[in-house]
Each structure stands twice: as structure tokens, then as C-alpha cells.
Amino acid sequence: MTRRRLSTRARLGLFLQAQGRCRICSRLLTPGTRWEIDHVVPLALGGADAHDNLQVLCAPCHSGKTATLDLPAIAKAERIRARHLGAARPRRPMQGGRASKWKRTVDGRVVERLKDPV
Ligand SMILES: [Zn+2]
């Protein structure tokens, strides 16, 4: 998805639609208050660069949303994608776990797990 630069008219339209208030904290955005246009669903998560995916936020709320919601969600999506495509580094099995080749018997001995117990 490409990010297009919003025209002044489009920014004004969004501002008036939001009735001059931040969508998160409802603060009135008076002249001089820094406010920004936010993608509700981030572009990196497949959100559209379209009017219905944009909202007006004050600068603190925008940076807060980006840092606490958007970036972690994007990072998680990247981890899931890497694992899905097999690009993720294979994990070493937890020592003594079900995937390890060793197991502890009920009497306390550590023995090699049988490959195919049929
Ligand atoms: Zn706010």
C-alpha cells in the first residue's frame, strides 16, 4: 500500500468531520495544538490509505497509539509471517521437553526417548 500525501482540503475535511476533537482523548484541538492524521489500521497491516481509514488525533495520542498498539502489532505480524514462510530461525527444543530427545522416567532416570513407539 502506498502512502499518499493528503491535500490541505482533505486534512480540513477530516478535521471538520471529527468536529475538531481528537478521536482518542476527545481533546478540543484549538489553533496551535499539534494534531495529526492517523491510519486506523496501519498501512503495514494492510490498512487502506483511504478516507475511511483515517482519523484525527492529537500528537501525544498519535505517538502513543503508534508506540503501544501499531508497532507491536506490526512486529507480531512480521514474526508470524516469517514463521509461516519458514524464514524464522528454528527453535532449540526446551531441554527435557516433549520435543527433546531425552526424557525423565518416573523413577528419575534420564533416558533417550524412543523415536517411534509403535
Ligand atoms: Zn488525544
Q: Where residue 38 sits, what CATH number does that domain have?
A: 1.10.30.50
In a domain, 20, yes or no: yes
**Ligand 1 mean position to 8 CA, how many Å?**
21
pTM over 0.75: no
Task: Assess if residue 2 is contained within a domain.
Answer: no
* Ligand 1: centre distance to CA 89 (Å): 39
Q: In the predicted model, what is the mean pLDDT of the chain?
A: 92
Ligand 1 midpoint to CA 67 (Å): 14
pLDDT the model gives residue 96: 76
Question: Cell for 107?
Answer: 523413577
The reported pLDDT for the residue numbered 118 is 64
Question: Is residue 43 in a domain?
Answer: yes
pLDDT at 117: 60
Look at residue 103 and tell me if it is in a domain: no
Q: Which domain holds residue 23?
A: 8-84
Residue 39 lies in a domain: yes
Q: For residue range 6-60, what is the model confidence (pLDDT) as tens digits?
A: 999 999 999 999 999 999 999 999 999 999 999 999 999 999 999 999 999 999 9
- C-alpha 118/C-alpha 109 separation (Å) is 22
Residues β-bridged to residue 26? none
Q: How far apart are CA 73 and CA 65, in angstroms?
A: 11
